[in-house]
Amino acid sequence: MTNSSVEDVAAIKKLLSETYGNLVMAHNAAGYADIYSDDVLWAPPNGPDQKSKEGVNNAIQGLFDKFMFKVNPQPEEVEVQNDFAYAIGTVDGVLTPRAGGDHNTIKFRIFWLLRKETAGWKIFRQIWNNKPVG
């Protein structure tokens, strides 16, 4: 049995769809890293895992340096149990190389684990994979 309160689900959906997306599109690596817990596991496809906010910051900044991002994160399923939650969703987007050239259309299936901390809901595990664009 879950303990999903309407307020917690709404806060998590806002964090993952609005805040997450806005920080990525603003290319704000420090702000993006701040939505994660200190003991984060950030496990991207085709890249090394990051296990600290500093690691997430550096990894995402490296991507921001190479690409301009336009993304649309959509949490589709959110379940809350006390101070823990998970969300499953998709991220669709376009990456435009800063050096010029053709843009890349992306689609990810993403799994987030979240924990309620003093500062609110934080992502403490993010695992995602590439999906066919179509």
- DSSP three-state, residue 20: helix
pLDDT of residue 132: 86
48-75: pLDDT as tens digits = 999 999 999 999 999 999 999 999 999 9
20-54: pLDDT as tens digits = 999 999 999 999 999 999 999 999 998 999 999 99
Yes or no: say if 46 and 59 are a contact pair by the CB < 8 Å rule.
Answer: no
User: How large a percentage of the chain has pLDDT more than 90?
Assistant: 92
Helix ranges restricted to H, 1-134: 6-13, 20-25, 29-34, 53-66
Structural domains in the chain, CATH included, are 6-130 (3.10.450.50)
